[in-house]
Structure 1
Amino acid sequence: MASIAVGDVIPDGTLSYFDEEDHLQSVSIHSLAVGKKVIIFAVPGAFTPTCSMKHVPGFIEKSDELKSKGVDEILCVSVNDPFVMKAWANTYPDNKHVKFLADGSGKYTTSLGLELDLSEKGLGIRSRRFALLVEDLKVTIANVESGGEFTVSSAEDILKAL
């Protein structure tokens, strides 16, 4: 399957998260993105070095600036279970705007064509690192990394394109 690209409509899918009352919830991506400008960025794994020290912190630090440019939602997706994503989100106490969503089975990531097989490293099927800008379900920016790189999917890269 080809990877999601600029001009494509994002597929719908269900992801999990814990709400503010600590209840496990499921949410449809379309329900979060229809009629809105949304950033969906994904990382290969919670608590991994580049993801934890660069990718997520960049979106948290730039979230007010992104919001000021019309971004309604900033969604962080990883092929991890919702308990891991909740624990990871809790390591960022200053976060106000980034929502951490679990794609536990990798089903949504696969529907985007952005899965990454890290089985040889003991990590199984994960997500490629990417950042999508989606406007009313349509991809307007698709910054997808090659291999283990972190060169095109940062918050700064999205800001430059807005």
Structure 2
Amino acid sequence: MAPIAVGDKIPDGTLAHFDEEDKIQQVSIHSLAAGKKVILFGVPGAFTPTCSMQHVPGFIGHAEDLKSKGISEILLISVNDPFVMKAWAKTYPENKHVKFLADGSGTYTHALGLELDLSEKGLGTRSRRFALLVDDLKVKVANIEEGGEFTVSSAEDIIKAL
């Protein structure tokens, strides 16, 4: 399956997260993104070094800049279960704007065409690292990494594109 690209409409899908009352909620990507300008970014795994020390902190640190440029939602997706995503989110107490969404079975990642086979590293099928700028469900920028790289999908790269 070809990866999602500029001009494509993002597929709808259901992801899980914990709400303010600490209950698991299923949420539709379209319900979060329809009629809005959003960033959808994905990482290979929670608690992994590049994801935890660079990619996620970059979006948390630049969230106010992104919001000031018209971004309504900053959505983080990882092929992890909602309990792992909840624990990972707690390691960023300063976070006010990035939503940690679980794609436990990788179904949404597959629909995006952004699967990454990390079986030889013991991680199974995960997500490629990416950052999408989406305006009313249409992809305006698709920064998709190769392998384990982190060269085009940072918050700074998205800011440059705005």
Q: TM-score range by the shorter chain?
A: over 0.9
> CA-atom RMSD, angstroms?
0.3
Partner of 2:94: 94
Correspondence 1:134 to 2:134: yes
Instruction: Output the CA distance in 2 between the equivalents of 1:18 and 1:148.
Output: 28
Partner of 2:64: 64
Shift of 1:130: 0.1
Write the mapping of 1:96-111 to structure 2, written as runs, cut at 5 A. 96-111=96-111
Instruction: Output the CA distance in 2 between the equivalents of 1:147 and 1:110.
Output: 16
2:147 alignment partner AA: G
Instruction: Output the CA distance in 1 between the equivalents of 2:133 and 2:3.
Output: 15
Shift of 1:87: 0.1
Partner of 1:74: 74
Instruction: Output the CA distance in 2 between the equivalents of 1:44 and 1:148.
Output: 8
Instruction: Output the CA distance in 2 between the equivalents of 1:2 and 1:151.
Output: 21
Shift of 1:6: 0.1
Partner SS state of residue 153, structure 2: coil
Shift of 1:138: 0.2
- TM-score, with length taken from structure 2: 1.00
Deviating above 4 A after TM superposition, structure 1's stretches of 4 or more consecutive aligned residues are none
Instruction: Output the CA distance in 2 between the equivalents of 1:121 and 1:92.
Output: 26
Correspondence 1:144 to 2:118: no
1:136 alignment partner AA: D
Partner SS state of residue 120, structure 1: helix
Correspondence 1:25 to 2:36: no
Instruction: Output the CA distance in 2 between the equivalents of 1:83 and 1:15.
Output: 13
Instruction: Output the CA distance in 2 between the equivalents of 1:107 and 1:52.
Output: 23
Shift of 1:2: 0.6
Partner of 1:44: 44
Partner of 2:13: 13
Alignment length, in residue pairs? 162
Partner SS state of residue 85, structure 2: helix
Partner of 1:53: 53
1:116 alignment partner AA: L
For each residue in 1:119-159, what CA deviation from the matched residue of structure 2 results, as whole angstroms up to 9, or x when unmatched?
Answer: 11110000000000000000000000011100000000000
Instruction: Output the CA distance in 2 between the equivalents of 1:3 and 1:47.
Output: 25
For each residue in 1:43-62, what CA deviation from the matched residue of structure 2 results, as whole angstroms up to 9, or x when unmatched?
Answer: 00000000000000000000
Instruction: Output the CA distance in 2 between the equivalents of 1:20 and 1:43.
Output: 23
Gaps of 5+ in 1: none
For each residue in 1:31-73, what CA deviation from the matched residue of structure 2 results, as whole angstroms up to 9, or x when unmatched?
Answer: 0000000000000000000000000000000000000000000
2:17 alignment partner AA: Y
2:150 alignment partner AA: F
Shift of 1:82: 0.1
Instruction: Output the CA distance in 2 between the equivalents of 1:3 and 1:85.
Output: 24
Partner of 1:121: 121
